[in-house]
C-alpha cells in the first residue's frame, strides 16, 4: 500500500506509517507520475484531482483536508470508483472567529461601541454562516440571512433575498461555495451590479471563495466610497493577487481565515476516519478539545483578544510575493474558547435559601460575563440554582454526572449539555479538564472532598486554574481555620495560602475568575 500526502497537512505524521508506505510531497510534486502507483491521496486545495492526475493510477481514495471540493472532479471520481471525501465544517469556528474579529476591529476604528446599532447580512448560512449568526445574535446585532437553497427547502420565513441584504445591511459577509452555473451560481455574486444596490454598507467581508467577489469591482467601490471598508481573505487569481485591492482593503490576509490549530486537527481527523472506513484500518486519531460548533458563548472582547487580523494584514502588505509562503507557514492560531468555571456545591434540597440565592446570582453573573459553567448536573440545591441562574441570562451549563446518579434520577433536565461518565473519578477529572477556574460553594462531604483535592492538585502542579472558595454566610470559616492550623503546625507552607482565594459575594467570585493571575510561587512543605 502506498499513500501520498501533501506535505503541509498537519497532525498526520506517523498516523499512516503502520499501514502503508507514506510519501510526503509538496503540492507541485503531486503529479500523475507520482500518483500512478499510489493507493490513496491526501491533499489540500492546491492539488487539482481530476482525470489528468488520476487516470491510469490505482488510487481508490482521495481525501482533502479542507471544507471545499472545488479542486476535485467528483464526477470523474464517481465514474472511476474513487472514494472522494472532504472535511465539511472543520474550520467553521476559525472562519467565524476571523469574521467577528474583523468586525470588532472595524467597529473600533469607526468608534462604534454598540452592536445593536448595526445590521449584519450573512450570505450563505451553512457551517460557517450558522456560527457567525449565533455569535452575532449573542452580541446584539440585528441579523439578516440570505441562503436561497435553504429557503427553498425550509421555507422563506427566516431568510431574505440578496437585494434586501444590499439595501439594509451595514456589514455583509459571504459564506457560500463557489458555483459557476445554475440558479444559485455564486461566481461574481458580489459584482458591480450588486455593489450598485448597496445602501449603507460600511464593511464587506469575503472569507469564502475568491471568485465570489469581483475584485476589480471592490476596488472601484472603495475608490468611490460606495463601500466603507473591505476585508478580503479569499482572492481572485491567488497567489497573484490585486496589489491595488491589497493597498486599499481594511483587512487583507493570505487565505488563512480558517487556519486554526483546532480546524486543521479536525480536518485531518475527518479524512483519517474516512480512510479507516475505506481500507478497514484502525488509525490512531487525535481530536481537538474545542467543539466543532464553536464556542457556546462569546463577547466581543473575547473574540477581539483571540485574534488580530491587522497583524496578518501588515505581513502580507510588507511582501505580497510571499502570499503562498505566509499561508503555508502560517502560525496556526487557536479558536475562541468560552471561559469555563467549574462550580462545586451541594445537591441537597433542604438547605437555607441564602445558599441557593447566592448560587443563582453567581450563575447569572457568570452568564453575563460570557463564562460557561460546568457543574455536577444535580437537579436540587446549589447545583440547580447555579444552572437556573445561568440559563436565566442565556448562559450555557454543562453538567457532568456519573451513570449511577443518572440511574437514580438525580440529573437535572434543563442543562445545556450533559456528559455521563462511568464513575466519580472520571467525572472529577473531566470537570477539572474543562475548567479554567474552580469555585467551591457550600456543600457536604462530596464538595469538601472535591475542593481539597483541587487544592492538592494545584499544590502539586497538576491543575493550573484559580481556586475560589465562595464563603457564603461564613460557611467555610471552620475549613479556613483548619487550613490555617495546617500552616501553623507546618503541615503546609505559608506560601500555600496562594493556592486559593476567598470571596464573600458572587460579584467578587466573577471578578476573581476573570482577572489575569500570575501562577503563585509555592514553596515545598519539605523545605
Reference 5, options 35, 32, 48; nearest CA is: 35
Evaluate whether 441 touches 362 at the Cβ level (below 8 Å).
yes
Given 46, 209, 266, 457, which residue is catalytic? 209
Distances in whole angstroms, Cα of residue 460 to Cα of each of 198, 439, 463: 60, 19, 8
Given 255, 379, 427, 457, which residue is catalytic? 255
- Alpha-carbon distance of 101 to 304, in angstroms, equals 5
Respond yes or no: is residue 238 known to be catalytic: yes
Alpha helix segments (H runs only) across 236-299: 243-248, 261-279
- Alpha-carbon distance of 356 to 350, in angstroms, equals 10
Between CA 121 and CA 126, with CA 122 as vertex, the angle to 5 degrees is 165
Respond yes or no: is residue 334 known to be catalytic: no
3-state secondary structure labels for all residues of 92-144: HHHHHHHHHHHHHHHHHHHCCCCHHHCEEEEECCCHHHHHHHHHHHHHCCEEE
Reference 499, options 517, 482, 516; nearest CA is: 517
- Alpha-carbon distance of 248 to 221, in angstroms, equals 10
Reference 398, options 408, 382, 386, 381; nearest CA is: 386
Given 192, 238, 273, 508, which residue is catalytic? 238
| Helix orientation angle between 127-139 and 92-110, rounded to the nearest 10 degrees | 40
DSSP class per residue in 49-107: BSHHHHTT----EEEESSS--TTB-HHHHHHTT-EEE--TTTTHHHHHHHHHHHHHHHH
First to last CA, the chain: 59
Respond yes or no: is residue 484 known to be catalytic: no
Between CA 294 and CA 306, with CA 300 as vertex, the angle to 5 degrees is 60
Distances in whole angstroms, Cα of residue 271 to Cα of each of 263, 290, 292: 12, 18, 15
- Which residues are catalytic, by number? 209, 238, 255
Amino acid at each position: 500500500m502506498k499513500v501520498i500526502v501533501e506535505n503541509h497537512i498537519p497532525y498526520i505524521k506517523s498516523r499512516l506509517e503502520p499501514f502503508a508506505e507514506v510519501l510526503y510531497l509538496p503540492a507541485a510534486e503531486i503529479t500523475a507520475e507520482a500518483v500512478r502507483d499510489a493507493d490513496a491521496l491526501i491533499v489540500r486545495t492546491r492539488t487539482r484531482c481530476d482525470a489528468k492526475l488520476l487516470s491510469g493510477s490505482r488510487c481508490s481514495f482521495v481525501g482533502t483536508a479542507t471544507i471545499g471540493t472545488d479542486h476535485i472532479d467528483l464526477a470523474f471520481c464517481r465514474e472511476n470508483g474513487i472514494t472522494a471525501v472532504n472535511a465539511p465544517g472543520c474550520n467553521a469556528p476559525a472562519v467565524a472567529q476571523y469574521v467577528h474579529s474583523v468586525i470588532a476591529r472595524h467597529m473600533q476604528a469607526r468608534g462604534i461601541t454598540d452592536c445593536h446599532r448595526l445590521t449584519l447580512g450573512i450570505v450563505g448560512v451553512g457551517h460557517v454562516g450558522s456560527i457567525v449568526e449565533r455569535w452575532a445574535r449573542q452580541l446584539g446585532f440585528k441579523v439578516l440571512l440570505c441562503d436561497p437553497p435553504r429557503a427553498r427547502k425550509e421555507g422563506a420565513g427566516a431568510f431574505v433575498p440578496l437585494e434586501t441584504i444590499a439595501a439594509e445591511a451595514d456589514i455583509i459577509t459571504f459564506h457560500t461555495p463557489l458555483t459557476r452555473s445554475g440558479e444559485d451560481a455564486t461566481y461574481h455574486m458580489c459584482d458591480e451590479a450588486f455593489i450598485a444596490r448597496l445602501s449603507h454598507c460600511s464593511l464587506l467581508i469575503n472569507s469564502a471563495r475568491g471568485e465570489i467577489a469581483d475584485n476589480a469591482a471592490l476596488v472601484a467601490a472603495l475608490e468611490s466610497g460606495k463601500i466603507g471598508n473591505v476585508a478580503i481573505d479569499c482572492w481572485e487569481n491567488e497567489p497573484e493577487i490585486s496589489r491595488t485591492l491589497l493597498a486599499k482593503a481594511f483587512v487583507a490576509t493570505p487565505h488563512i481565515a480558517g487556519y486554526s490549530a483546532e480546524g486543521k486537527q479536525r480536518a485531518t481527523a475527518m479524512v483519517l476516519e474516512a480512510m479507516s472506513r475505506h481500507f478497514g484500518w484502525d488509525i490512531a486519531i487525535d481530536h481537538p478539545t474545542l467543539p466543532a460548533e464553536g464556542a457556546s458563548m462569546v463577547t466581543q472582547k473575547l473574540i477581539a483578544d483571540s485574534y488580530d487580523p491587522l497583524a496578518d494584514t501588515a505581513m502580507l502588505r510588507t511582501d505580497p510575493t510571499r502570499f503562498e509562503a505566509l499561508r503555508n507557514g502560517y502560525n496556526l492560531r487557536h479558536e475562541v474558547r468560552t471561559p469555563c468555571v467549574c462550580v462545586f456545591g451541594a445537591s441537597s434540597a433542604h438547605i437555607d435559601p441564602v445558599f441557593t440565592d447566592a448560587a443563582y446570582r453567581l450563575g447569572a453573573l457568570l452568564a453575563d460575563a460570557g463564562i460557561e459553567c460546568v457543574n455536577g448536573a444535580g437537579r436540587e440545591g446549589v447545583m440547580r440554582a447555579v444552572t437556573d441562574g445561568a440559563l436565566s441570562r442565556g448562559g450555557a451549563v454543562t453538567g457532568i454526572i456519573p451513570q449511577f446518579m443518572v440511574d437514580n434520577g438525580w440529573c437535572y433536565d434543563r442543562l445545556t449539555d450533559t456528559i455521563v461518565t462511568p464513575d466519580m473519578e472520571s467525572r472529577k477529572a473531566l470537570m477539572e479538564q474543562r475548567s479554567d477556574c474552580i469555585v467551591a460553594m457550600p456543600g457536604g462531604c462530596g464538595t469538601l472532598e472535591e475542593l481539597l483535592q483541587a487544592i492538592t492538585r494545584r499544590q502539586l502542579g497538576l491543575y493550573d486554574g484559580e481556586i475560589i472558595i465562595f464563603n457564603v454566610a461564613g460557611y467555610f470559616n471552620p475549613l479556613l481555620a483548619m487550613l490555617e492550623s495546617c500552616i501553623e503546625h507546618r503541615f503546609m507552607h505559608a506560601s500555600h495560602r496562594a493556592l486559593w482565594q476567598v470571596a464573600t459575594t458572587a460579584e467578587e467570585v466573577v471578578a476573581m475568575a476573570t482577572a489575569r493571575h500570575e501562577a503563585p510561587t509555592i514553596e515545598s512543605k519539605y523545605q
